[in-house]
Each structure stands twice: as C-alpha cells, then as structure tokens.
Amino acid sequence: MAHLLHLDSSPRGERSISRQLTKEFVAAWQTAFPEDAVTYRDLGHSLIPPVDEPWIAAAFSPPDARSPELNAALKVSDALINELISADHYVLGVPMYNFNVPSNLKAFIDQIVRVGRTFVVNAQGGYDGLLMHKKMLVITTRGGTYPAGTPYAAFDFQEPYLRAIFGMIGINNITFIHADQLASGEDARQQSLAAAKDAIQHLVTTW
C-alpha cells in the first residue's frame, strides 16, 4: 500500500483551477488504487508560519542542546517533515504568482528544507537529500506560457525553483503538468485544460 500526500497552495477556493486539477488526479488515483492512503494538507487556507529567529536558532542547534522553547519553535517544521517522510508520492497544486510560487508555498518550503532532517552537508560541501525514492507530481496553473527555447522561458522561475529545492532534499523524480495560457482567451484556455486533464488521466496509470 502506497501513501499519497496531496498539497494545495492556491488561496482561492472553488474557483481555483489548480485545486480542481489536483482533486481530479487524487480522485482518479483513489479509483485506480483504492487501498492507498491519502493525506491532504491545504497550504492555501491553513497558512504555514514563516521562519523566524527562534526557528533558525533551533534548527542550527544540536537536538540535545535545545531548550523547550527551541523545540517548540520547530514543532510545525517537525510535523510537516514527518508528513513528507511518511508519504511515497506527492501531488502539489501550484498557481504561478509573478513568475514563481505563492508566498504560502514558499513558507512551507522554508519549514521543510532543514539540515539534519531533509538534507545533510557532505564532505565536499554539497548537499545530500534525505527524502529518497519519492515521486512528485506538480500541477501548475499559469496565465501565460513559457516554452523552453523561447524568450518567455526566462520568466519561468516556478518550475526551475521547485525542481532545484525539492531535488536538494532528495526528491528528484518530479513530473510537471502545466495548465497554461489560462488568460489567453477561451479557446486557448479550454485546450490547455483539456490537455492537462488528459495528462492527469494518463499519469495515473503510468506513474
């Protein structure tokens, strides 16, 4: 039995397209694999606190040297990291904001990228991720389109950032489905959504 962690990061509710698409994937997944466990976390509505000074002091202190106050500063981080560790697969819905990710998703990432828990510094001064053998699906929603090899690709800080930061903690098997051109007229919008939904259904059977 596998464990799927479903994360939404849009602050919108029923009007959120990224939420609709991740929900469609999870529903198809549960139909195909009814024995699998699914955990849901709503990053868009249950906001994650940003990293602060006590968090930094605690994260860079040996566990046996932390005061009760420093341990409390890492409570949210520990819970989020434990959730990541327990899952085998992740599906993450991400709207593009200003060519990158929403601030609430960035706060989540800052809480989970933590030395000694999700990565270590190796002898060469590089990073070794600790969350190995996981798979991640990222479903993005975008007003425009940023194809590789075009001048517009330089504006896409979303996919490169997510690949880099999750790769740093060991999650390198990442699939992206981009529902783009959503602000480019109704025809382009519907074509993009249809393509994204087809990709979702295909991925459920091949992932």
- Can you give the residue ranges of every domain in the chain? 3-206
User: Buried b / exposed e across 117-142, counting CB within 10 Å, b at 16+?
Assistant: bbbeeeeeeebebbbeebbbbbbbbb
Which homologous superfamily is 3-206 in?
Flavodoxin domain (3.40.50.360)
Helix residue ranges, H only, the chain: 17-32, 53-59, 68-73, 75-86, 103-112, 158-168, 186-206
Read off the pLDDT of each residue in 49-55 and give the average, rounded to a whole number: 98
Give the closest residue to 3 by CA, choosing from 79, 76, 84, 78: 84
Both tokens assigned to 134: 């996981």
pLDDT score recorded for residue 77 = 98
pLDDT digits 0-9 by tens, 169-205: 999 999 999 999 999 999 999 999 999 999 999 999 8
pLDDT digits 0-9 by tens, 87-126: 999 999 999 999 999 999 999 999 999 999 999 999 999 9
Strand 127-129 and strand 89-95: the pairing is: unpaired
Q: Rounded to an integer, what distance in angstroms lies between the CA atom of residue 102 and that of residue 93?
A: 11
Task: Name the CA dihedral angle for 127, 47, 37, 142, rounded to a multiple of 10 degrees.
Answer: -80
- Confidence band, pLDDT 50/70/90 cuts, at residue 128: very high
pLDDT score recorded for residue 109 = 98
Residue 58: phi, psi to the nearest 5?
A: -70, -45
pLDDT score recorded for residue 168 = 98
Single pTM value for the model: 0.96
- Confidence band, pLDDT 50/70/90 cuts, at residue 79: very high
